[in-house]
Every structure is written in structure tokens, then in C-alpha cells.
A = this chain, B = another copy of it.
Amino acid sequence: MDGINKASIYTIAQRVGVSAATVSRALSGQGRVRPETRQRILAAAEELNYRPSRLARRLSGPEITIVVFYAGMHLEEFGLDIFRGAYDACQELADYHVRVRMCYLPNMMNFRAKECEVEQIIRILESGVRGAINLPIFSDEAQNARIQQVVQERGIALAQTVHSRDKGNPIFSYQSDVYTAGAIAAELLWNILGDGGKVSIFTTQKDLPFYAAGIRGFRDAMQRYPLDLLVIYENYDDRQIAYHATDALLRNYPDVRGIFVGSANSKTVCQRIAESPHPEEISLITSDLYPELVPYIERRMVRATIIQAQYTQAFEAFRALANYLITHIPAEQPVRMVRPQIVLHSNVEQFLTPMSDKRVAACLAAIERIET
């Protein structure tokens, strides 16, 4: 605890025989310094185990703005948690003159964007932001290239949460641990059904790595917790398809007793099961949490839901990115898995964010809707 951080910029300046200003320039990478001088400064800093004081660094100077994007429907079910995490982290860093801009693109989905949306994103990036979290990535490579060019030119630092699409070279990535989530689902279903329980999985799209990992986690856990996996349905995050898949499941596999819903459409699956003659015979483990799921938890159809703590991921990503922008020190662990949380009836209340909450209201009000 002690002895650390004794070296200041002056210590280094003395040792190298230059002014503090030069040391500052060499260390922060702002402004020209003769390469040789820079080397000697870096060496001295290393040797003295110099750590910059984030305090002093941020006492003056312009604000650091970080933009957070969220695209697609499900603002309240999903995106809001991301915004809230970033918003709260920003509040906590207010002393450091860090600001957040929250941009919501409601009309953009399936990784496709209209030209005007790309323009808007570029305009935001060119407005002076220093970092971006969850910068949208499109299927159209030409669009990505244009955005990436701006990112490069401006030296914007990137971070991302939730999904592990490591395009765009983010500096930090706070990822959902979907493998473990799948394993937890299998274990919980086994707890309920016992050896050989007949189960099924609903996923978004089997061959996307993100969802494949969840299925793998489930299957691997089945070696310790033997279940009989009857079938896997894909629903492509489409409500219609999810409904019909549930329908097909009940028709084709009437003896199914458990379902793990790894996709976003758990609500629809629940609806269809509720319409069946013996809904109480089937136990679900779902993913994520939103108010409409709660009644199904209360009536014991959904026995647990596994959440990925989007809030925490965004909170940590924001902090890490801000820290990077202040210190220029790269992350120790650039990729971090966030622990899935297990939510039951008994603790569901602790995970619901009251929309009435003042902070949530303030956050909502600060979100910019990027319409088209």
C-alpha cells in the first residue's frame, strides 16, 4: 500500500534533466517530443514505477465525452440497462469531467442501417467524443469501413458489452458468459426433473457463436446432470416464429417437461404454454428479465431466469474506457466475462428497476433518440 506512487512527473523531470512539461508531453502522447528524449523519459517512468495521478490529470482540461449506442427494439427490456449502467458510472466519475452521450437508434435492426443512420453515427463520432461503447456494426462492410475510418482518424477508443462481436478492435469487451448460463439452465432443470428429464432448448440462431456457446454449456452440463434433450428450436428473435415453434414442440413432443429459453422471446413461449391444457407440467428456465416475465415467474411456470447483468457490464465498460482515456494505460484484462445472475421468485424484486426511480427517469430523459 505504501511507497507506491511516490514518483511524480517532477521526479522524472529531474532525473532525465528536462522540464516537467516535456515529461507530461512524452507520457500523455500529446505534442511533439524528440524521440530520444521520449525514450529516456519512458525508461525513467518505468524504472520509478510511475503512476500518473488521475486526479491531477483531470483537474483541468476539456471534458471527456463517451458515447453509448443501443440499436433495435427492446429499449425498456434490454437497452435501458446498458444506458443506466453507463449513466451511473458517469455520475460517479463526474469529478473527472467525464460526460456520457446516450444514443438510441430505435429503427435499426438486424445489423442493417439506412444511409442516413450511418451519417448520423458519423456525425456523432465527429462531434468530439473520445470513446464509444457498443458502436453499431453492420452487415454491409462498406458502411463499417466508413465508420471505422472516422474512428481511426479521430483516435476514438472503443469498448463493447454484451455480445462478443470483436470487430472494430475494442479495447475492452465485457461479455456475457453464455456458456455458464447454459450450464446453469441444465443444472436447474435437472434439479427439478431429475435424471433423464425430457427437455428442449429455444435459441435465436444455433450457428451464431454467441448462441452456440449457450447450447454447448447446456450440453456439457448434461454430462453431470443427465437430461434427455429432445429438440432445439431456433426463433431468430421473431415473435411469430417463437410462437409456432412452441406450438410444434407441444404437438411433437407432448412429454417434454422442461425448456431452456436462451433467446429473447421467452414471453411468447410462456404465452403459448399458458394456453396449453396442462401448463403446470412444464418448467422453464429463461434468459434476461423484464416486467412481463414476472407473472410467469410468480405462477411458477418460469422457475428461474438467468440474467447477464447488462447494467454491470455497461457500468464497468464505461469505467474502464474512461480510465483508459485518462491514463492511456491499456487494460490488464481486455476481455472480461460477467457472471450470470440467477433470479428466482424469491429474489426477482431485487432485480427489477423501478421506472419511477428518479435516477432512471433522469437517465431516460437524457437518452437521445436518433430517428430516421
Which of A55, A99, A187, A345 has the most CB atoms of chain B within a 10 A radius of its CB?
A55
* A340 CB within 8 Å of chain B: yes
The answer to whether A184 and B1 touch across the interface, beta carbons within 8 angstroms, is no
Within 8 A of B (CB), among A316-372: 339-342, 344-347, 350-351, 366
C-alpha spacing A59/B95, complex, angstroms: 12
The answer to whether B347 and A184 touch across the interface, beta carbons within 8 angstroms, is yes
Per a CB cutoff under 8 Å, which of B95, B192, B341 touches A55?
B95
Which of A90, A221, A350 has the most CB atoms of chain B within a 10 A radius of its CB?
A350
The answer to whether B1 and A366 touch across the interface, beta carbons within 8 angstroms, is yes
**Chain A residues touching B, majority SS:** helix
Contacts of A341 on B, CB cut-off 8 Å?
341-342
* A53 CB within 8 Å of chain B: yes
The answer to whether A340 and B347 touch across the interface, beta carbons within 8 angstroms, is yes
Within 8 A of B (CB), among A132-173: none
Copies of the polypeptide in the assembly: 2
Per a CB cutoff under 8 Å, which of B53, B187, B217, B347 touches A344?
B187
C-alpha spacing A344/B339, complex, angstroms: 12
Question: Considering only CB atoms and an 8 Å cut-off, how many residues of chain A contact the other chain?
Answer: 40
* A5 CB within 8 Å of chain B: yes
* A70 CB within 8 Å of chain B: no
Contacts of A191 on B, CB cut-off 8 Å?
188, 191-192, 303
Can you list 28 A-B contacts (CB < 8 A)? Answer: A1-B90, A1-B99, A2-B99, A5-B94, A53-B59, A53-B95, A55-B58, A55-B59, A55-B95, A55-B96, A177-B350, A180-B347, A183-B346, A183-B347, A184-B347, A186-B346, A187-B345, A187-B346, A188-B191, A188-B344, A191-B191, A191-B192, A191-B303, A221-B346, A224-B345, A340-B347, A341-B341, A342-B347
Taking A1-B90, A55-B59, A55-B95 as given, write out 5 further A-B residue pairs in contact, using a Cβ cutoff of 8 Å, ordered by the A residue number: A53-B59, A55-B58, A177-B350, A187-B345, A342-B342
